[in-house]
């Protein structure tokens, strides 16, 4: 059977697992190869040639050699380090982890998604600014899920298109819902929070006045469509 050639790609480390005595399995979100699971040999040794590059919040240019089950990382160079304001700040750290985990769950193995990768990089860059970290995360969730085909109706009723503003949100129906269409279990929400979500989903800045409602709705939305919880989001809720 012919072997697949090695390749280079830009990547973020989503998570890692210890493997053997000195190796580590690394889950990578790559720019043009989707999610890739690879082994970094010897990375846990003090004199590893990879040093501190194989870690979250670092964009790396990585050389990968495909294998039957795991690729092998043969080279990794730092492109951009995003951890300066994330490491040591719990809120930014938790938001950064949730961004990476959500991106992984929205990606697929061997399928390129340059939009998702670039959106991830942009969100991590925004965590370096003074923007509210939870709103940065929610903006990423809203833009990434819309890119995946799960856009929300945030003014007109998602079910009957009755013009808003409305004061209820249903992830099952796809956004704002009027009093006539509102299903059991819908969230009460301030119409201004829905407007904030619209601003975030369109790449605009927004105040943090309704951050709790916005975050609750964004989490409910992504959890409904992924049909599974994002672990990092659960950790944020417990903080």
- Domains, the chain, in order of start with CATH, read 7-81 (2.40.50.140), 90-238 (1.20.1440.120)
pTM of the model: 0.91
Residue 178 DSSP SS3:
coil
Average pLDDT, the chain: 90
Interval 91-107 mean pLDDT: 93
Q: For residue 101, what pLDDT is reported? A: 93
Residue whose token pair is 């939009």 = 115
Q: For residue 1, what pLDDT is reported? A: 42
Residue 226: count of CB within 10 angstroms of its CB? 15
| Per-residue pLDDT band at 42 (split at 50, 70, 90) | confident
Interval 49-53 mean pLDDT: 70
Interval 127-143 mean pLDDT: 95
| Per-residue pLDDT band at 50 (split at 50, 70, 90) | low
pLDDT tens digits, one per residue of 209-228: 999 999 999 999 999 988 77
Q: For residue 12, what pLDDT is reported? A: 96
pLDDT at 47 over 90: no
| Per-residue pLDDT band at 49 (split at 50, 70, 90) | low
The whole-angstrom separation of Cα 166 and Cα 178 is: 6
Long-range contacts of 170-177 (CB under 8 A, 24+ apart): 171/217, 171/220, 171/221, 171/223, 171/224, 171/225, 172/224, 174/150, 176/152
- When mean pLDDT is compared across 15-24, 120-129, 145-154, 160-169, the lowest value belongs to 15-24
Residue of 162, 163, 186, 164 whose CA lies nearest to 173: 186
């Amino acid at each position: 059977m012919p072997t697949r050639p090695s390749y280079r790609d830009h990547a973020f480390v989503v998570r890692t697992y210890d493997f053997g005595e000195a190796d580590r399995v690394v889950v990578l979100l790559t720019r043009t190869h989707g999610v890739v699971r690879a082994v970094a040999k010897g990375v846990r040794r003090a004199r590893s040639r990879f040093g501190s590059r194989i870690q979250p919040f670092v964009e790396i240019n990585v050389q990968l050699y495909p294998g039957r089950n795991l690729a092998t990382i043969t080279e990794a160079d730092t492109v951009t380090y995003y951890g300066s304001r994330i490491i040591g700040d719990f809120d930014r750290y938790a938001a950064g982890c949730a961004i990476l985990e959500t991106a992984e769950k929205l990606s697929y193995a061997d399928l390129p998604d340059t939009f998702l990768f670039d959106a991830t990089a942009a969100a991590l860059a925004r965590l370096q600014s003074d923007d509210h970290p939870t709103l940065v995360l929610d903006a990423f969730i809203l833009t990434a899920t819309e890119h995946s085909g799960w856009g929300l109706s945030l003014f007109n009723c998602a079910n009957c298109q009755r013009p808003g503003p409305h004061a209820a949100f249903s992830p099952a129906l796809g956004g704002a819902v009027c009093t006539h269409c509102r299903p059991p279990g819908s969230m009460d929400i301030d119409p201004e929070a829905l407007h904030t979500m619209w601003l975030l989903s369109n790449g605009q800045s927004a105040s943090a006045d309704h951050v709790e409602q916005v975050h609750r709705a964004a989490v409910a939305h992504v959890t409904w469509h992924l049909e599974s919880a994002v672990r990092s989001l659960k950790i944020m809720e417990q903080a």
